[in-house]
Amino acid sequence: MPRPRPLVVGDADSSAAAAYIYGDVLAQVHRNGDLGKAAGSRGLIAAGLLVGSHYQCPLNHRPYVEVEGFVGGAQVASFLDLLKQWRGEWKAAALALKYHFPAGELVGWFASLDGTIGTADAPPDDAQLLHRTFFNHPWQIGLFAPRERTSPRVFAVERDQLESHGVCVIQGRTSR
């Protein structure tokens, strides 16, 4: 559905962003990662599902998502462990998503972890496998939110490759 891109915090160029996220949701994603760290699980990946809506920019016709919430999931040692867990619990995760966000779409997934992963251009192979297994729409994203609160990164499919894209914080109101 065509829709103008939202106003964003700061002076970030939002014209090519693949994702927009409400500030309170990004803070909650970080807190979700902090819970595992506080429990002594440093090095584990905190992961879950992102909910919101997807749109098409009327100016450049590129897809983008607005992230309005998330369902926290697992604390795992690797992306392969997350892949195995989601294979066994995907239906339960989808039901939790529909229960908590009945009008929302599954727009992607997140990982909150210590440090950075992959390169600026692409996530590690295991994360790419996970994305391609469960998120087959080109507008669905993988959000990487370092626990150190450095800039999050989003990966989305472009030209059959997972590529790094911008993520912007939505200005104004908080999520629903």
141 located within any domain: yes
| % of the chain residues with pLDDT over 90 | 35
58 located within any domain: yes
Give CA–CA dist 70/58, Å, rounded: 27
Whether the per-residue pLDDT at 95 is higher than 70: the answer is yes
pLDDT in tens, 13-26: 677 789 999 999 99
Which residues make Cβ contacts (< 8 Å) with residue 47, sequence separation at least 6?
73, 74, 75, 76, 82, 109, 110, 111, 112
For 87, the domain range is 19-170
Give CA–CA dist 62/44, Å, rounded: 34
Whether the per-residue pLDDT at 120 is higher than 80: the answer is no
Residue 86 belongs to a domain with what CATH number?
A: 3.40.140.10
pLDDT at res. 41:
55
Question: Can you give the pTM of this predicted structure?
Answer: 0.87
41 located within any domain: yes
7 located within any domain: no
153 located within any domain: yes
47 located within any domain: yes
Task: State the total domains in the chain.
Answer: 1
12 located within any domain: no
